[in-house]
Amino acid sequence: MPKKLSHYGRDGRAKMVDVSAKAVTERTASASAFVAMKPAVLQALPNNPKGDPLEVARLAGIMAAKKTSELIPMCHPIALSHVAVDITVCENGVGIASRASTRAETGVEMEALVAASVAALTVYDMCKSLDKGIEIREVVLTSKTGGKSGAYRRTRSRAKKT
């Protein structure tokens, strides 16, 4: 655990971290989210009059990853080499997994997290007419590679696949 938060200056004001001295390396990150919904909403997914909620959510997640620095104030704009979003129907909802990669001075954790989050929000948006009680849960970083802090892998997942 770092001794201080990196996005604050000595004066306590928020600042963007200077990454100019960092090495350009291959960096990857994966994130996930879970959208809990009732069985009736799951069964209605293929018949949504707005279109396929899972495909729209997948595309929304990819598009959102590319806009991360516009959404999160201290994120650096980076050139993404790849972004993927996979969506799986589970027994109690929809599981979302995102992956992002780049060659840069800074990591892609936020891009992966934004992709998973926006995909989950899009599923909610596409299905809210059936149930306003849909829940977005467990938005987490599942892994990352590259950079000074090295590799990270989360070890727990709670979604139940069908």
What is the amino acid identity at position 94?
Answer: V
Catalytic, out of 18, 52, 86, 125: 125
* pLDDT tens track, the chain, 162 positions: 455 656 666 777 777 777 877 888 899 999 999 999 999 999 999 888 888 999 999 999 999 999 999 999 889 999 999 999 999 999 999 999 999 999 998 889 999 999 999 999 999 999 999 999 999 999 999 999 998 888 999 987 555 554
Question: Which domains are delineated in the chain?
Answer: 45-145 (3.30.70.640)
Q: What is the pTM of this model?
A: 0.87
Strands (E), 37-150: 82-90, 93-104, 135-145
DSSP state of 111: H
**Tokens 């709670």 correspond to what residue?**
158
30 by Cβ neighbours in 10 Å (0-12 / 13-18 / 19+) ranks as buried
**11 in active site:** no
Q: Three-state SS for 76? A: coil
